[in-house]
A = this chain, B = another copy of it.
Amino acid sequence: MTALPGLLDTETLRKDFPILERALHDGKKLVYLDNAATSQTPRQVIDVLSEYYEQHNANVHRGVHVLAEEATALYEGARDKVAEFINAPSRDEVIFTKNASESLNLVANMLGWADEPYRVDHETEIVITEMEHHSNIVPWQLLSQRTGAKLKWFGLTDDGRLDLSNIDEVITEKTKIVSFVLVSNILGTHNPVEAIVRRAQEVGALVLVDASQAAPHMPLDVQALQADFVAFTGHKMCGPTGIGVLWGRQELLEDLPPFLGGGEMIETVSMHSSTYAPAPHKFEAGTPPVAQAVGLGAAVDYLTAIGMDKIAQHEHAITEYAVKRLLEVPDLRIIGPGTAEDRGAAISFTLGDIHPHDVGQVLDEQGIAVRVGHHCARPVCLRYGIPATTRASFYLYSTPGEIDALVDGLEHVRNFFG
Q: Which residues of A contact B (CB under 8 A)?
A: 18-19, 22, 24-25, 30, 32, 34, 37-38, 40-41, 45-46, 49-50, 53-59, 62-68, 98-102, 104-105, 108, 113, 130, 133-139, 141-142, 146, 151, 153, 233, 235, 240-244, 258, 260-266, 268-271, 273-274, 285-292, 357, 360-361, 363-364, 368-373, 375-376, 378-379, 382
Contact = CB atoms under 8 A, between A and B. Distances in A.
Nearest to A36: B59
B105 A262 contact: yes
A286 B136 CA distance: 10
B55 A22 contact: yes
B98 A135 contact: no
B57 A41 contact: yes
A101 B53 contact: no
Given A40-B53, A98-B242, 8 more contacts: A40-B57, A49-B53, A134-B262, A134-B274, A138-B269, A138-B274, A139-B261, A268-B378
Contact of A243 (B30, B146, B242): B242
Nearest to A32: B67
Contact of A59 (B34, B98, B262, B273): B34
B262 A104 contact: yes
A385 B126 CA distance: 49
B49 A63 contact: no
12 contacts: A18-B53, A22-B55, A24-B66, A46-B53, A65-B364, A65-B368, A137-B274, A138-B261, A138-B269, A241-B287, A241-B292, A271-B379
A150 to B, nearest CB: 12
Q: Taking the full assembly, how many copies of this chain does it contain?
A: 2
Contacts of A285: 101-102, 105, 135, 138
A123 to B, nearest CB: 19
Nearest to A43: B54
A208 to B, nearest CB: 14
A136 B32 CA distance: 43
Contact of A261 (B113, B142, B243): B142
A315 B241 CA distance: 33
A383 to B, nearest CB: 9
Contacts of A372: 63-64
A369 B66 contact: yes
A291 B46 CA distance: 11
Contacts of A258: 142
Contact of A240 (B53, B65, B138): B53
A369 B62 CA distance: 12
A133 B38 contact: no
Contact of A19 (B54, B108, B357, B378): B54
Given A34-B59, A242-B291, A102 B364 contact: no
A68 B370 CA distance: 10
B361 A273 contact: no
Contacts of A49: 49-50, 53
A67 B292 contact: no
B286 A98 contact: yes
B54 A287 contact: no
B233 A287 contact: yes
A260 B361 contact: no
A373 B38 CA distance: 40
A235 B287 contact: yes
Nearest to A25: B66
Contact of A135 (B38, B100, B105, B263): B263
A105 B236 CA distance: 27
A135 B34 contact: no
Contacts of A68: 34, 37, 369, 371
Contacts of A133: 262-263
Contact of A292 (B105, B242, B263, B379): B242
Contact of A360 (B30, B65, B364): B65
B34 A271 contact: no
